Structures are given as C-alpha cells and as structure tokens.
Amino acid sequence: MSLSQSQRQTIALFRDTTNCSEASAQKYLKATRYNLEAAIDAYLRKHSTAVRVDTKQIDKIFTSYADPSSKDEITIDGTIRYLTDLEMDLEETGVLALAMQLEAPTQGTFTRSGFMKGWSELGIGSLEGMKAHAGTLTAALADNHGEFFRKTYLHTFTFALTPPSRTLPLDSALVFWDLLLTNRFDRLDAWKEFLTLKGRGISRDVWNLLLEFSVQVKDLSDYNEMEAWPVVIDDFVAWCRENKR
C-alpha cells in the first residue's frame, strides 16, 4: 500500500527523533495508527537500554544558559538564547510543546529538574539532537485529536499563568488560543468576540473544557446543556444561537 504525504512526513519526523531505519519507523507507526508521540514512546520503551544519554552533557548545556543569580533556572534572557540556538521562532506552537516536554513552570523559565528529566526521557543529550527534535514539534502538533496536542494544550494554561493567580487574563488567553486553536476550532472568532464582550478571566476548567467542546460539538444543534459544561460555554452557545453565529 502506498503511503500518503502525511504518513511520509510522520515517518521522517519519527526517524529524525529516533535515528532508526525506515522499516522500523513504519513498524512502530503502523502499530499506533501513525500517532507520532505514541510510536516514539513505544520505541524508546523497547530500546531504553540501548539509548545512552549523557546526562552530564545535558546538565552542562543547561548551565550554559542558566541565570547566574539563580543557577537552577534558565530565565528569560537564557530562554531566548536557548530557543534561538534551537532555531525556534519564539511565537511558533512548537515552543509550547517544548515547554510541556521540559515541564516549564511559566513563560520564559526552564528549571534544571524539568530540563534534565525531559531530555533524558527523550533520549537526547546534545544540542544538535535538541535542535533536530525541536524542528519536529510544530508538525507533531498537527493532529488536534492526538494526545501530544492535548498534553501541550493543557500544560499551556499553567505555562501562561502568572503565579499566584489561578485565572488567566483574557488578553493572554486569546493570544494562546490563536496559537493553538486557529484552523482547529471553527467558532474561535465567535468565542473570542463573546468573551471580549463579557470581559472575564479564564479558569482552568473553562480552558480545559473548551478543547473538548471544540472537538465534540461541531453542530450547535447537538449541544446538550444537561452535560457538565462550564456555564460560560452554555452562555456562549446561547449567544451563538441568538446571533446566528
């Protein structure tokens, strides 16, 4: 059976990350129905004894970007240098995926523990390897039904917060929704207009369940108010119906 362009691209991304043969890539991807993250996880679990990661080198890389006054953190200046060295655009969605994988606690910050854990689990111990992996992340987010996208989306709420606040300012939420849900959520423009009229901050519950809403409810006639949706989503559906949006 011939491969689609999407499948060929996924195979290439898998091989860039694992350095395996095309035959092995196809084997793992077929087993996971071309779910890139699941296939990579399966590959690394099986080959974990063969993957040798120089954790001292990872630690050395972290230290080269760390804040001199806070040696267990890479702060904003170091983060910009690091992402630049990875050849990442600061506004690409792949940055959000990297933040999830390295457990970045907030914008512009990486911790030594998250950095070490993330790269060790990925089996990557060199700056060149990190750069190659970073180049796959935006494409890996293409499947908005995939677990990799879901994990990135959910982590972004924490990443975008300014501690100790538990709600995300609306202007920040709109920026991140533009990054994550453009061309994924048909009613994104209507949702943004509705919230701008309401002028309210965004809770974690609303953030998380909007993703489920965007996937599950394609036609508002199928929306069931008796299900456990946040009140703001109930109000949004009513507003859309009233305004024929």
Query: What is the structure's pLDDT at 21?
Result: 86
Query: What is the structure's pLDDT at 144?
Result: 65
Query: pLDDT tens digits for 134-191?
Result: 999 998 898 766 889 999 999 999 999 988 899 999 999 999 999 999 999 999 999 9
Same-domain check for residues 182 and 122: no
Same-domain check for residues 124 and 198: no
Query: pLDDT tens digits for 106-148?
Result: 999 999 999 999 999 898 999 999 999 999 999 889 876 688 9
The angle subtended at Cα 235 by Cα 157 and Cα 148, nearest 5°, is 30
Same-domain check for residues 129 and 67: yes
Alpha-carbon torsion, ordered 13, 18, 19, 24, to 10 deg: -90
- pLDDT band with cut points at 50, 70 and 90 for residue 48: low
Query: What is the structure's pLDDT at 14?
Result: 83
User: Would you say residue 71 lies in a domain?
Assistant: yes
Task: Print the domain residue range for 96.
Answer: 55-142
Number of folded domains that form the chain:
3
**Residue 203, CB half-sphere, CA atoms under 13 Å: how many?**
8
Query: What is the structure's pLDDT at 80?
Result: 98
Residue 52 has pLDDT above 80, yes or no: no
Same-domain check for residues 12 and 91: no
- What would the two tokens of residue 67 be? 């804040």
- What would the two tokens of residue 102 be? 């390295």
Query: What is the structure's pLDDT at 245?
Result: 81
- What would the two tokens of residue 66 be? 């760390």
- Residue 210: enclosing H or E segment and its boundaries? helix 204-216
CATH at 180: 1.10.238.200
User: Would you say residue 226 lies in a domain?
Assistant: yes
User: Would you say residue 105 lies in a domain?
Assistant: yes
Q: Which residues of 125-151 are buried (b: 16+ CB within 10 A; e: fewer)?
A: bebebbebbbbbbbbbbbbbebebbbe
The phi and psi torsions of 235 (rounded to 5 degrees) equal -65, -35
Query: What is the structure's pLDDT at 50?
Result: 46
Same-domain check for residues 123 and 174: no
Any bridge partners for residue 110, and if so which? Answer: 74
Instruction: Tell me the pairing of strands 73-74 and 110-111.
Output: antiparallel
Same-domain check for residues 41 and 87: no
Burial (CB count within 10 angstroms: exposed 0-12, middle 13-18, buried 19+), residue 229: buried
User: Would you say residue 155 lies in a domain?
Assistant: no
**Cα–Cα dist 161/169, whole Å:** 8
Any bridge partners for residue 111, and if so which? Answer: 73
Helix ranges (H only) for 66-187 are 76-85, 93-101, 112-122, 127-134, 137-140, 147-160, 170-181
The model's pTM is 0.80
Tell me which range, 22-26, 115-119, 198-202, is most confidently predicted by mean pLDDT. Answer: 115-119
User: Would you say residue 148 lies in a domain?
Assistant: no
Same-domain check for residues 42 and 63: no
Residues 214/207, Cβ–Cβ less than 8 Å: no
Neighbour count for residue 24 (Cβ, 10 Å)? 15
- What would the two tokens of residue 76 be? 């904003």
Query: pLDDT tens digits for 53-91?
Result: 889 999 999 999 999 998 899 999 999 999 999 999 999
User: Would you say residue 113 lies in a domain?
Assistant: yes
